[in-house]
Amino acid sequence: MGIETVLDCLMDAGVSVWLDAEGSLRISKGAPDDLKALVREHKQALIDLRKAQSIMNEAGIRIIRLPLGESALAYSPGLPLDDVRWAAGVLGMAEMPLVVNDDQCVWISFEEWRRYQPLCTRRELEAFHRGQEAESAARAKAKPRRRVA
């Protein structure tokens, strides 16, 4: 189960998870035991996700549309870029270029950026195509069935 599915389950149940001041993962009081077990199972991924969100928010990172239509992560000069790159990787934005924020580009929301992203990674798509090709080859090798008139 991926982290997005875990977050969907939590959201559907109205349960939230957050990091406290010491960096420990907390869950809403009264959360069902099955959701608590799910959170324990994916604890490190949830901690990484919340830390990455915190880094991006505190650094003021924004998604912008570049003049040629691509998206980029805009940052202010002087930020620790290693932390920003790590956070971008955790949030699935690692392939977006990092550009200095000069406030001349149009800001776009995360939801708008997400809408234009592929539903799967390039590797997953290639594996799907390999599977389709193998299935087609297997069908071609199979003996054709005779039709009874």
pLDDT tens digits along 93-144 = 888 888 887 665 566 777 777 777 767 777 777 887 888 888 878 777 776 6
Question: What tokens were used for 144?
Answer: 């054709």
Domain for residue 82, yes or no? yes
Range(s) of the domain holding residue 96 = 60-134
Domain for residue 74, yes or no? yes
Domain for residue 43, yes or no? no
Read off the pLDDT band of 5 (50, 70, 90).
confident
Distance (Å, rounded) from C-alpha 115 to C-alpha 107?
Answer: 15
**How many CA atoms, within 13 angstroms, populate the side-chain half-sphere of residue 31?**
21
Single pTM value for the model:
0.63
**What's the total number of domains in the chain?**
1
Domain for residue 144, yes or no? no
Mean pLDDT is lowest, of 33-37, 40-44, 114-118, for: 114-118
Domain for residue 105, yes or no? yes
The reported pLDDT for the residue numbered 105 is 57
